[in-house]
Amino acid sequence: MDYLKIIKERRSIRKYLEKSIPKETILKVLEAASWAPSAHNAQPWRFIIIEKTDLKRELAEEMANAWRRDLSKDGIPIEVQKALVEASIERFTKAPLLILACLTMEDMDKYPDKKRQEVEHLMAVQSLAAAIENLLLAAWSEGLGACWFCAPLFCQDVVKGLLKIPNNVEVQALITLGYPDEKPNPPPRKQLSEIIYFNYWGNKE
């Protein structure tokens, strides 16, 4: 299939059929993720496949509780909090599969300079993001739908504790995966003329 067609037709899917995903398909999608470019070829990504229903629910509830606390601090009304949290739990629990994308700095370069080390960390984050994009596109090409959520970033300790993740590993994203049960409309996109400059910022020619 034309690669641009896959890129343009891919959608963020939040509703899935109650249909299991073959293990070989899951591994194929993750293999695609593993072929993303990475800084120093350090491949700082690690993935946890979550398929147990009770574990998906426990994770969803723990993250939702953390979110509820943040919503309370933000002054969000109780009834709104309740609706948001319930929708979040249902979204993650009903997805046939969850993939937790994690980051490790173990093979990245080490610097005594704090600023350079911060840049190195940013390079690792960019590398993981490239792997997630590969995952999303591979999933779509296999007839699967997926959605990239950053919820774990707001409650890393909760997620790490539940899934027994070492302290030196960061949780970065949670991807839902399954066969689509919806057909979202194409999202609006900016025209190239709005996002491209030549040689210097603001130069359109």
pLDDT of residue 1: 58
Q: Which helix (H) or strand (E) holds 82?
A: helix 78-94
pLDDT of residue 196: 96
32: pLDDT strictly greater than 90? yes
Distance CA 9, CA 102 (A): 27
Strand order in the sheet with 169-178: 45-50, 97-104, 169-178, 145-149
Domain residue ranges in the chain: 13-181
Q: What is the percentage of the chain residues whose pLDDT exceeds 70?
A: 100
pLDDT of residue 87: 95
**pLDDT bucket at 21, cuts 50 / 70 / 90:** very high
- Helix 53-73 and helix 156-163, axial crossing angle in degrees, nearest 10: 160
Mean pLDDT of 185-195: 94
Q: According to the model, what pLDDT value does residue 158 have?
A: 96
Judge whether residue 12 has pLDDT over 90.
yes
At 96-142, the pLDDT tens digits run 999 999 999 999 999 999 999 999 999 999 999 999 999 999 999 99
Q: Domain spanning 13-181: which CATH class is it, in words?
A: alpha beta
The pLDDT score that the predictor gives to residue 2 is: 83
Is 90 exceeded by the pLDDT of residue 7?
yes
Confidence (pTM): 0.95
